[in-house]
Amino acid sequence: MTKNKLNTEREKFSHYIIEIFDFKDIFNKDVTNKALELIKKLNLKVVKSATHNYVPHGATTMFILSSSHLIIHTWPEYDYAHIDLFSCSNAKTEEEIHTIIQESFKHANAKIKKMNYDK
């Protein structure tokens, strides 16, 4: 793939880093359910998923999507979750994605950062 073609394709990439603070009673199933809600609202499709639970607490859940991935890391002792969402599908605007994330995690404080890649 040439650099110009890659740059054109990059415009379709959506990469977000989402930090969820003050997510009380954060358990992996709660975060997983919220992530599945987010995936559904974004019209994305789960191909495969896997979870690793840590002792004494915390987990990492990975969703392989038909258009890329969503990965969640939880720290229940800090009421915190970190989400990495990357999609090659650009079906929603940045504003729509922000709104959907805020709605999905409405009882928590969400910090959302869209990653930008130089062309």
What secondary structure, in 3-state letters, does 49-99 show? Answer: EEEEECCCCCEEEEEEECCEEEEEEEEHHHCEEEEEEEECCCCCCHHHHHH
What's the rounded Cα separation, in Å, for the pair 110 and 21?
6
Would residue 67 show up in a list of annotated catalytic residues for this protein? no
Catalytic entry in 15, 49, 68, 82: 68
Would residue 88 show up in a list of annotated catalytic residues for this protein? yes
Would residue 98 show up in a list of annotated catalytic residues for this protein? no
Catalytic entry in 15, 73, 82, 98: 73
Catalytic entry in 15, 49, 69, 88: 88
> Active-site residues: which are they?
68, 73, 88
